[in-house]
Amino acid sequence: MDELGFPTRKRYSRREILALGGAIAAAAALPRAAAAGPVMTRPIPRTGERLPVVGLGTAIVFDVGADAARRAVQSAVIAALVEGGARVIDTAPSYGTAESVVGELVAALGMRDRIFLATKVRVAPRAAAMAEMHASLRRLKTDRIDLMQIHNASADLGAMADQLALLREWQARGVFRYVGVTHSRESANERLVALVEREKLDFVQLNYSLGERGVEARLLPAAAATGTAVLVNLPFGRGRLFSAVRGRALPQWAAEFDAASWAQFFLKYLLANEAVTCVIPGMDKPEYVADNLGAARGRLPDAAQRRKMVEFWESLR
Ligand SMILES: NC(=O)c1ccc[n+]([C@@H]2O[C@H](COP(=O)([O-])OP(=O)(O)OC[C@H]3O[C@@H](n4cnc5c(N)ncnc54)[C@H](OP(=O)(O)O)[C@@H]3O)[C@@H](O)[C@H]2O)c1
pLDDT in tens, 78-95: 999 999 999 999 999 999
Q: Which residue has the higher pLDDT, 180 or 9?
A: 180
Quick one: which atom of ligand 1 is closest to the CA of 92? 47
What per-residue confidence (pLDDT) applies to 234?
Answer: 98
CA of 83 to the centre of ligand 1 (A): 20
Q: Is the pLDDT of residue 102 over 80?
A: yes
Would strands 41-43 and 50-52 be described as parallel, antiparallel, or unpaired?
Answer: antiparallel
- Taking a C-beta distance cutoff of 8 angstroms, is the pair 39, 86 a contact? yes
Q: Is the pLDDT of residue 205 over 90?
A: yes
Q: Phi and psi at residue 179, in whole multiples of 5°?
A: -130, 155
- Taking a C-beta distance cutoff of 8 angstroms, is the pair 75, 24 a contact? yes
44 contact partners, CB below 8 Å, separation of at least 6: 50, 51, 178, 202, 203, 229, 277
Tell me what percent of the residues of the chain surpass a pLDDT of 70. 91
Q: Is the pLDDT of residue 302 over 50?
A: yes
CA of 180 to the centre of ligand 1 (A): 20
What per-residue confidence (pLDDT) applies to 26?
Answer: 39
**208-247, pLDDT tens digit by residue?**
999 999 999 999 999 999 999 999 999 999 999 999 999 9
CA of 286 to the centre of ligand 1 (A): 14
Does residue 118 sit in helix, strand or coil? strand
Mutate to test the pocket of ligand 1, among 56, 140, 208, 283 (most ligand atoms within 8 A of CB): 283
Q: Is the pLDDT of residue 254 over 50?
A: yes
Type of residue numbered 169 = E
**1-41, pLDDT tens digit by residue?**
888 988 764 443 444 334 444 444 434 443 444 447 899 99
CA of 293 to the centre of ligand 1 (A): 14
- Arithmetic mean of pLDDT over the chain: 92
Cα 207 to Cα 227: distance, rounded to the nearest angstrom: 19
Helices (H) and strands (E) in the chain, counts: 12, 10
Q: Where are the beta strands (DSSP E) in the chain?
A: 41-43, 50-52, 56-57, 88-90, 116-121, 145-150, 176-182, 203-207, 229-233, 278-279
Element (H, E) at 40: none
Mutate to test the pocket of ligand 1, among 117, 242, 268 (most ligand atoms within 8 A of CB): 242
111 contact partners, CB below 8 Å, separation of at least 6: 78, 79, 82
CA of 283 to the centre of ligand 1 (A): 6
Mutate to test the pocket of ligand 1, among 238, 240, 264, 279 (most ligand atoms within 8 A of CB): 238
**110-142, pLDDT tens digit by residue?**
999 999 999 999 999 999 999 999 999 999 999
Residue identifier of the C-alpha nearest atom 39 of ligand 1: 284
Does residue 90 sit in helix, strand or coil? strand
Cα 294 to Cα 275: distance, rounded to the nearest angstrom: 20
CA of 237 to the centre of ligand 1 (A): 7
Q: Which residue has the higher pLDDT, 100 or 5?
A: 100
283 ligand 1 Cβ < 6 A? yes
Segment 149-165 shows an average pLDDT of 88
CA of 58 to the centre of ligand 1 (A): 8
